[in-house]
Structure 1
Amino acid sequence: MQVKRLTVVVTRRLPALVEARMSELFDVRLSETDAQMSREELIAAMQSADILVPTITDQIDAAMMAAAGDRLRLIANYGAGVDHLDVATARQRGILVSNTPGVLTEDTADMAMALMLAVLRRMTEGMAKMQEGVWEGWAPDALLGTRISGKSLGILGMGRIGQALARRARAFGMEVHYHNRRRLHAGLEEPLGATYHDRIDALVTQSDVISVNCPHTPSTFHLLNARRLKLMKPTAVIVNTSRGEVIDENALTRMLRAGELAGAGLDVYERGRGVNPRLRELPNVVLLPHMGSATHEARREMGEKVLINMQTFADGHRPPDLVVPSML
């Protein structure tokens, strides 16, 4: 007797190889347009699926979980971050949640390093001159930036990405400092040459560059608030490749406009696509459209993780990347 395959709904387009493999293993409804689903469409998808495969663009709250009915059994998130999902409510309703940790580490760390270099060396300002055809030639005082070697990097969140960034920063001759919920054990801390700060205030006060690498949770919302941003050196730069909600974006914008900070490199924003228009006007700010993990390799490996989680669940076992509220 043929075993009935689980029904899967995928909210966005995934790499072709991932979609093809998923279709071989499950009864899959793929996204044809890659348009972001509305709230009503998401609820309908949850009601019709055994497994939902959402992405960071799909905000699923407690009310939507309640409206999902009893069919949905697994949310196999395509991505590492799960702050767009109400994990606690899912658990209460017996819905498992999995994610794709680890595969974004190197690419996101690369992007954080790239943003640091772009801001400190004023790369986008130089590119703008070349693209607009207004370069007047080399001059001793033209587009002077800041040397990265010897600078102090403060990493806020020393998980996988923070540690990968620390390795890169050391190779560039930077001093590495960090704050984390828990101090790394010596076997990890010593090879990185990293100095631990148990107080965020101390970290931001002495750093030349702050890199945000912690997730968005209730406890990290506006972790870098106006008061803490005021503690930073006026020559300091802030980089964020994690979650926009960790920084008070209005306070950051005011300080950048007032010259109280030297610059910022942002790949994420407090209001998602609603980027503060005043940030766009500043020459010392580099803005990217959430590109931190945007490599062919990362997207494919994310899909492979989703497949493993789904297949393990279908086989009656706990998904290897199961997310529980205590992890958040």
Structure 2
Amino acid sequence: MAPRKPKVIVTRRLPDPVETRMRELFDTELNLDDAPLDREALIKAVQRADAIVPTITDHIDADLIAAAGDKLKLIANFGAGVDHIDVAAANERGIAVTNTPGVLTEDTADLTMALIMAVSRRIVEGANVVQAGEFTGWTPTWMMGRRVNGKRLGIIGMGRIGQAVARRAKAFGMQIHYHNRKPVSHVIAEELEATYWESLDQMLARMDIISVNCPHTPATYHLLSARRLKLLQPHAVVVNTARGGIIDEAALADLLAAGAIAGAGLDVFEFEPAINPKLLTQPNAVLLPHLGSATVEARIDMGEKVIINLKTWMDGHRPPDRVIPSML
């Protein structure tokens, strides 16, 4: 008799190749409708499963973990960020948590540069004018944006994604500055010609563009607070492809409405999917529906990482992408 396959519950629709392979390897329960599971459905899932594959739309908090059945031994997150999972509570229950780091780096960095360009050159504003049939011809002083070449880019969080953004920005002729828990290695700093700022306040006051690329943790919640946002220069642009809670969204919306900063490019929001209504009315705000990893290649790579973590755990080994509380 073949050994029992572990019960794996997937909370959202994943790419077909990923779901097919998971069905081959595990007793996998799919969400073919792709509707987010409500609280009751999540509780039932963690009570029945050996492993659960959640996404950012699932809030795996301490109470949910406390309600889990004794069989649940792995939370194999589909995504790099784990701020929606109480990793400490899972660890206390003996439930491992894994993520999918590295595979979405290039795509998120691409989108970051796209937002930098879109806001600086007013690309979305211009496209909207054309699509509305309001383009009446070229004029010398209309729809002027700002050049990115030669501008100072301040990167908050110089991990994999921050460094990938820096490489792209350097190719555009930008000057790279960054704030991080510690300086990057001398080799990387030399390659990127990057200037390290221990003081975030000091960096913010001097930059033309700010890119948020750090993880969302209790320490980075509202890292860009109302006070810090007021340090930005009037021509500054803020781009966030990390997590919405890192920025005080209401304060940012107020600054944009008042013309106190030049613009913002946001792929994530503090209370996602809800968005501050004031942001929706700002022509200098480019708002995207969390597209950072939304490429065919990235999503399949993320799924393959999930499968590797599940298979390694099933074989009795430590999953390669395990997340432990001390890492956060």
- Is residue 159 of structure 1 aligned with residue 172 of structure 2? no
How far apart, CA to CA, are the structure 2 residues paired with 1:199 and 1:40?
45
**CA offset digits 1:251-307 (Å, max 9, x no partner):** 111111111000000000000111011111111110000001100000000000000
User: Which digits, 9 at most, give the CA deviation of each residue in 1:143-164, with x for residues without a partner?
Assistant: 0000000000000000000000
- Give the whole-Å Cα distance in 1 for the aligned partners of 2:112 and 2:101: 18
Q: Report the counterpart of residue 219 of structure 1 in structure 2.
A: 219
Task: Give the Cα separation in 2 of the matches to 1:256 and 1:20.
Answer: 46
Please give the alpha-carbon distance, in whole angstroms, between the structure 1 residues aligned to 2:31 and 2:288. Answer: 26
4+ residue stretches of structure 1 with deviation over 3 A? none
In structure 1, C-alpha distance between the alignment counterparts of 2:282 and 2:36, rounded to whole Å: 30
2:51 match: 51
Aligned twin of 2:243: 243
Rounded Cα–Cα distance in structure 2 between residues aligned with 1:13 and 1:179: 36
Q: Aligned with 2:230: secondary structure?
A: helix
User: SS in structure 2 opposite 1:235?
Assistant: coil
CA-based RMSD of the aligned residues comes to 0.6
The whole-number CA distance in structure 1 between the counterparts of 2:26 and 2:273 is 33
Task: Please say if 1:81 is aligned against 2:81.
Answer: yes
**Aligned residues: percent identity?**
61
Equivalent residue of 1:310, what SS? helix
**What is the aligned partner in structure 2 of residue 41 from structure 1?**
41
**What pairs with 1:99-114 in structure 2 (closer than 5 Å)?**
99-114=99-114
Q: Distance in 1 between matches of 2:47 and 2:176?
A: 48
Structure 2 CA distance for aligned equivalents of residues 182 and 2 of structure 1:
51
- Aligned residue identity for 1:277: P
**Match in the other structure for 1:275:** 275
Q: What TM-score do you get using the length of structure 2 for normalisation?
A: 0.99
Unaligned runs of 5+ in 2: none
TM-score for both structures, normalised by structure 1: 0.99
After superposition, the C-alpha distances for 1:124-154 in whole angstroms (9 at most, x for unaligned) are 1100111000101001011000000000000
Asked if 1:326 corresponds to 2:323, the answer is no
Partner of 2:71: 71
**Cα displacement (A) at 1:69:** 2.2
Structure 1 residue 64, shift from structure 2 partner: 0.6
Matched residue, 1:145: 145
In structure 1, what residue type is equivalent to 2:37?
A: M
Q: Deviations over 1:66-85 (max 9, x none)?
A: 01121100000000000000
Shift of 1:202: 1.0
Matches within 5 A, 1:143-222: 143-222=143-222
| Number of equivalenced pairs | 328
Residue type matched to 1:306 in 2?
A: V
Q: Hey, what's the Cα distance between the residues in 2 that align with 1:3 and 1:71?
A: 16
Query: 2 CA distance for matches of 1:320 and 1:71?
Result: 21
Partner in structure 2 of residue 130 of structure 1: 130
For the residue of structure 2 that corresponds to 1:231, the secondary structure is coil
Residue 92 (structure 1) aligned with residue 92 (structure 2): yes
Deviations 1:11-49 (A, max 9, x none): 001110111100010011110210000011001001100
Match of 1:312 in 2: 312
